[in-house]
Homo-oligomer: A and B are copies of this chain.
Amino acid sequence: MREAEVIERLRRIATHPAARGLADDAALLDGLVITHDSIAEGVHFLPEDPPASVGWKLVAVNLSDLAAKGAEPAAALLSLTLAGDGAWDSGFIDGIDAACESYGLALIGGDTIALTPGAPRVLGLTAIGRAGANTPARGGARPGDKLWLAGTLGDSAAGLAILLEDPKATGVLVDIYRRPVPLLEAGQALAPYATAMMDVSDGLLLDTMRLAVASGCSATIDLDRVPLSRAFIAERGAGLPARMFAATGGDDYALLAAFPPEFDPALSVSLPSKPNLVCIGTLAAGDAPLYLVGGGGRPVPLPEHLGHEHRGIAFAPMADRP
């Protein structure tokens, strides 16, 4: 049974409406938005990463799922594996503490378990938020809707690339890779108007395809409009290869939202000064889930890898068209 089949099996079990077909970033139960993401050493973080940044990141990736549903952070349960390195554990908890305090998330439970010696750490968090008036799913967008992005793309992937060359590297991009910022205010501001919303954790192209498939639409993304930070452009430029890197790198925790064509969130929604908000594409009726244009509107072929399909983080099957 391959990973896609595993997820398909789980989806057949998950028939409760709160599950949203496991096709969403989070479940919705009794007015609470609930998500669980785990991260594994060697897969989602580097053994050399400062443990406080790993703790921060575990909280942030879960809060990004709440942000994508417009929820307000309420509480969390931590699943902590102990590998016998007290200094690491202490630093990790510092990071958990800092992130929980920054975002008003109360740690209310969880467990600690010992691992067999040498086993890589697997760290999990269940984050619980209070739902707003609208909790946009992935699958609610309609043909004609426009796709908007809050945040910038590629910073984290560029930071990881720098670290893989030089584990001691520092700088803005490394910081963004290690300490992503969940766009909670933006998510809460956009959710009432969005027909669909999700966070871009596995790469813009892959996640856009997921939103399009869940909504029964075809998406076209204009790579020229992919928002890049000054730090990213300084590192990798702003040409088409750099934009493709940014659109497939993942680990962004930007928000991807669909709005009716006449709605301009940049005009209609009161947002904190950051993040920037750009229209990056459109949805249409059609069978193929994803088209790319770039270099002034010319068709661009899809790359072989749309994002990080096997990094996991949330049940997010490709084949989830009803």
Contacts and interface: CB of A to CB of B under 8 A. Distances in A.
Interface of A: 1-3, 5-7, 9-10, 13-16, 18-20, 22, 24, 26-27, 29-32, 34-44, 74-75, 77-82, 86-87, 89-90, 93, 96-97, 100, 106-116, 119-120, 122, 124, 126, 128, 310-315
A interface: dominant SS: mixed
A36 B14 CA distance: 19
Given A2-B86, A79-B38, A114-B310, A128 B43 contact: no
A43 B116 contact: yes
Contacts of A9: 90, 93
Contact of A109 (B15, B36, B86, B115): B36
Q: Which 9 A/B pairs are nearest by Cβ-Cβ distance?
A: A113-B312, A1-B86, A16-B106, A27-B108, A122-B122, A27-B109, A19-B108, A42-B116, A36-B77
14 contacts: A6-B80, A10-B78, A10-B80, A14-B106, A29-B74, A34-B109, A40-B114, A41-B116, A42-B119, A44-B113, A111-B312, A111-B314, A113-B311, A114-B311
Contacts of A74: 29
A106 B314 CA distance: 17
B112 A34 contact: no
Contact of A82 (B3, B82, B87, B106): B3
B109 A26 contact: yes
Contact of A126 (B36, B43, B120): B36
A112 B77 contact: no
A18 B75 contact: yes
A81 B122 contact: yes
Contact of A14 (B5, B108, B312): B108
Contacts of A39: 113
Contact of A36 (B86, B87, B110): B110
B43 A114 contact: yes
A119 B40 contact: yes
A14 to B, nearest CB: 4
Nearest to A105: B16
Contacts of A34: 75, 77, 108-109, 126, 128
